[in-house]
Amino acid sequence: MELAGFLGVTMLWVKAAHVIFVIFFMAGLFMMPRFFVYHQQCPVGSEEDRKWVEREDRLRKIILNPSILLVWIFGLMLAFNGDYWHEGWFIAKFLTVVALSGYHGWMIGYFKKLAKGERPLTEKQLRMLNEVPGIAAALVVILVIVRPF
């Protein structure tokens, strides 16, 4: 593997950090909608409701938000280092990551609604939304490893 670009020999460390924080981020993306399903089942204003708000807030502050920030920082470093901006596989991956980032933003918004006692989605809808990160992860892995275009 050629270690060219401005990262030089640190490129592999940056790539490792990127993958590590992608794993943390994806874990949070899988956990939060699951938390929402359980949270939504409890009575608004109950002690259990308060505990779910605390759990979701910790997941957001400790795992999701720091991870997405570091995924973007390390990912952009790799993208600029490899000058991938004109490669079809990379553009598709980048757009998928942008969509996942939007999904993250939606989850934070839904967390705030649950914390206020709102329950706009059904349990079934939340369970379906829980599939989004898995589909996106599969797509990103195929784009990065296979590079179909």
Residue 39 marked ligand-binding: no
Label residue 117 exposed, middle or buried (CB < 10 Å: 0-12, 13-18, 19+).
exposed
Is pLDDT of 118 > 70?
A: yes
Residue 2 lies in a domain: no
Cα angle for residues 101, 29, 121 (degrees, 5° grid)? 90
Average model confidence (pLDDT) across the chain: 96
* Chain-centre distance for alpha carbon 103: 8
Is pLDDT of 2 > 80?
A: no
- By residue range, what is the domain housing residue 25? 8-145
Mean per-residue pLDDT for 72-79?
Answer: 98
Residue 86 marked ligand-binding: no
pLDDT digits (tens, 9 = 90+) for 8-51: 999 999 999 999 999 999 999 999 999 999 999 999 999 999 99
Please give the Cα distance from 101 to 17 (Å, whole number).
Answer: 18
Contact 63, 28 (CB under 8 A): yes
Residue partners of 22: CB distance under 8 A and separation at least 6: 67, 71
Residue 74 lies in a domain: yes
Q: How many structural domains are present in the chain?
A: 1
Cα angle for residues 69, 65, 109 (degrees, 5° grid)? 125
Please give the Cα distance from 29 to 130 (Å, whole number).
Answer: 8
Is pLDDT of 74 > 90?
A: yes
Residue 1 lies in a domain: no
What is the band of 4 on the pLDDT scale with cuts at 50, 70, 90?
confident
